[in-house]
Structure 1
Amino acid sequence: MQAHEVERIAKAAATAAEDKKATDIIVLNVQSLTTMSDFFVICSANSRPQVEAVSRAVRDKMSEFGVTCRGVEGLDEARWVLLDFGDVVVHVFQPEDREFYHIERLWGDADIYTLGESAN
């Protein structure tokens, strides 16, 4: 898949999260930092039901793009759910867990996108 297509898919995942009222949504371009993925989408959801709803909405949106979810971690507790779509990995956090793990800091050299923007 070409880079611009992967970016489009990452932003579609972010929009799906936003549609379910996820907050603090960012897209990290990690292409130059790791080989495991090209983009991380990170967002917060305020409760277990919202984490589940955001995760489901992202999976549904990716399915519309023909992108298969390769793995899901954390859905049982729904505090930090990781959705692996290969080139795009989506992290849905409850706020306390996002603050505790602060994975954005780990990828601090990545270009950061927000919805409707180009790289910062």
Structure 2
Amino acid sequence: MTEQELWQKMTDTAVKALEDVKAKNITVLDTTEKTPLFARMIIASGDSTRQVKALANSVAVDLKEAGFTVQGSEGQESGEWALVDAGDLVVHVMLPAVRDYYNIEALWGGEKPSFHTGAEKPWHAADH
């Protein structure tokens, strides 16, 4: 299996795990031209902290069952933003407000990032 095929299998496994637990707005980014640290990034949303935790857990379990190594995970305590690190694949699962606020698709996808201005931001860490 080539490196590209391996990355695709890993990505497909993670996306299916996210779909199985009803993730919203799943985005897959090819990061090979942006960093040598990982090849793909997946960003998805969950409707509640409980679902964010379940989504991250589903990804980790399914990747392990498919024979991939999960190097670590973070953020499952709060459930606002969970990350699963599988080496060549990094999966971010966030609440929609957190995802909108950080807008990491724009940072990694090459789009111009948008910034929230004014007194009413959709989410702020100090508020939670």
Tell me which interval the TM-score lies in, with the shorter structure as reference length: 0.7 to 0.9
| Offset at residue 51 of structure 1 (A) | 0.7
1:22 equivalent in structure 2: 23
Q: Note if contact 2:13-2:66 (Cα within 8 Å) is conserved in structure 1.
A: no
Bigger relative CO (Cα 8 Å, ≥ 6 apart): 1
Partner of 1:73: 74
Percent identical: 36
Q: Partners of 1:87 and 1:38 in 2: how far apart?
A: 5
User: Separation in 1 of the partners of 2:33 and 2:66?
Assistant: 24
Shift of 1:108: 2.1
Give unpaired runs (5+ residues) of structure 1.
111-120
| Max Rg structure | 2
1:39 and 2:22 aligned: no
Preserved contact between residue 40 and residue 89 of structure 1 (Cα < 8 Å): yes
Which amino acid in the other structure matches residue 52 of structure 2?
V
Equivalent pairs counted in the alignment come to 110
Unaligned runs of 5+ in 2: 112-128
- Contact 1:81/1:92, CA 8 A, preserved across alignment: yes
Runs of 4+, deviation exceeding 2 Å: none
Give the CA deviation at 1:66.
1.1
Map of 1:10 onto structure 2: 11
The answer as to whether partners of 1:14 and 1:26 remain within 8 angstroms in 2 is: no
Q: Matched residues in 2 for 1:54 and 1:92: separation?
A: 7
Q: CA deviation at 1:105?
A: 0.3
Aligned counterpart, 2:56: 55
Report the RMSD for the aligned CA atoms in angstroms.
Answer: 1.4
- Give the Å deviation of 1:88: 0.3
TM-score, scaled to structure 2: 0.81
